[in-house]
Amino acid sequence: MSKILSIRALVLVMFLSPSAQAQITAAELDQLSRDIQPQVVEWRRWFHQNPELGNREFNTAKKITEILTGMGLEPKTGIAHTGIVAIIKGGLPGPMVAIRTDMDALPVTEATGLAFASTVTSEYNGKPTGVMHACGHDTHMAMVLGTASVLIAVQDQLPGSVMLIFQPAEEGPPPGEEGGAQLMLKEGIWTANKPEAVFGLHVGLGQPSGALAVRPGPAMAAVDSFSLTVKGKQTHGARPWNGVDPIVVSAQIILGLQTIESRQVDVTLAPSIITVGRINGGIRNNIIPDSVEMEGTIRSFDPAMREQIHMRIERTARGIAQGAGADIEFKLLDGYPATVNNEELTARMMPTLRRVAGEGSLLTAQPQTGAEDFSFFANETPGLFVFLSNYAPGADLATAPSNHSPLFDMYEPSMETGVRVFSNLVVDYLQGN
| Confidence (pLDDT) at 1 | 44
In a domain, 9, yes or no: no
Band of the pLDDT at 12, cuts 50, 70, 90?
A: very low
Residue 32 pLDDT more than 70?
A: yes
CB 71 within 8 A of CB 148: yes
| Confidence (pLDDT) at 22 | 86
Residues 185-207: what's their mean pLDDT? 96
Q: What is the pLDDT of residues 319-332, one digit of tens each?
A: 999 999 999 999 99
Residues 177-205: what's their mean pLDDT? 97
Residues 355-370: what's their mean pLDDT? 95
Residue 161 pLDDT more than 80?
A: yes
Q: What is the pLDDT of residues 398-408, one digit of tens each?
A: 999 999 999 99
| Confidence (pLDDT) at 210 | 87
- On whether both 154 and 189 belong to a single domain, the answer is yes
In a domain, 211, yes or no: yes
Residue 2 pLDDT more than 60?
A: no
Residues 13-42: what's their mean pLDDT? 83
| Confidence (pLDDT) at 140 | 98
- On whether both 268 and 305 belong to a single domain, the answer is yes
Look at residues 269, 304, 336 and tell me which one is the last residue of a structural domain.
Answer: 336
Residues 63-71: what's their mean pLDDT? 98
- On whether both 327 and 293 belong to a single domain, the answer is yes
Please give the mean pLDDT across all residues of the chain.
Answer: 95
- On whether both 152 and 112 belong to a single domain, the answer is yes
Q: What is the pLDDT of residues 254-270, one digit of tens each?
A: 999 999 999 999 999 99
In a domain, 424, yes or no: yes
| Confidence (pLDDT) at 21 | 65
Residue 19 pLDDT more than 90?
A: no
Q: What is the pLDDT of residues 84-141, one digit of tens each?
A: 999 999 999 999 999 999 999 999 999 999 999 999 999 998 999 999 999 999 999 9
Residue 7 pLDDT more than 70?
A: no
Residues 146-173: what's their mean pLDDT? 98
In a domain, 95, yes or no: yes
- On whether both 348 and 213 belong to a single domain, the answer is yes
336 carries an active-site annotation? yes
- On whether both 422 and 292 belong to a single domain, the answer is no
Residues 168-187: what's their mean pLDDT? 96
- On whether both 347 and 323 belong to a single domain, the answer is no
Domains in the chain: how many in total? 2
pTM score, whole prediction: 0.92
Band of the pLDDT at 373, cuts 50, 70, 90?
A: very high
Identify the domain containing residue 124 by its residue range: 23-220+338-430
CATH of the domain at 265: 3.30.70.360
- On whether both 77 and 140 belong to a single domain, the answer is yes
In a domain, 10, yes or no: no
Residue 251 pLDDT more than 60?
A: yes
Active-site option among 261, 336, 372, 391: 336
In a domain, 147, yes or no: yes
- On whether both 208 and 228 belong to a single domain, the answer is no
| Confidence (pLDDT) at 433 | 76
293 carries an active-site annotation? no
CB 180 within 8 A of CB 79: no
Look at residues 271, 306, 336 and tell me which one is the last residue of a structural domain.
Answer: 336
CA 341 to chain centre: 13
- On whether both 258 and 292 belong to a single domain, the answer is yes
Give the HSE-up count for residue 330: Cα atoms under 13 Å, Cβ half-sphere: 16
Look at residues 318, 336, 354 and tell me which one is the last residue of a structural domain.
Answer: 336
- On whether both 315 and 343 belong to a single domain, the answer is no
The 3-class secondary structure across the chain, one letter per residue, is CHHHHHHHHHHHHHHHCHHHCCCCCHHHHHHHHHHHHHHHHHHHHHHHHCCCCCCCCHHHHHHHHHHHHHCCCCCEEEECCCEEEEEEECCEEEEEEEEEEECCCECCCCCCCCCCCCCCEEEECCEEEECECCCCHHHHHHHHHHHHHHHHHCHHHCEEEEEEEEECCCCCCCCCCCCHHHHHHHCCCCCCCCCCEEEEEEECCCCCCCCEEECCEEEECEEEEEEEEEECECEECCCHHHCECHHHHHHHHHHHHHHHHHHHCCCCCCCEEEEEEEEEECCCCCEECCEEEEEEEEEECCHHHHHHHHHHHHHHHHHHHHHCCCEEEEEEEEEECCEEECHHHHHHHHHHHHHHHCCCCEEECCCECCCCCHHHHHHHCCEEEEEECCCCCCCCCCCCCCCCCCCCCCCCCHHHHHHHHHHHHHHHHHCCC
- On whether both 331 and 347 belong to a single domain, the answer is no
Residue 16 pLDDT more than 80?
A: no
In a domain, 7, yes or no: no
Backbone angles phi, psi at 15, to 5 degrees: -65, -40
CATH of the domain at 93: 3.40.630.10
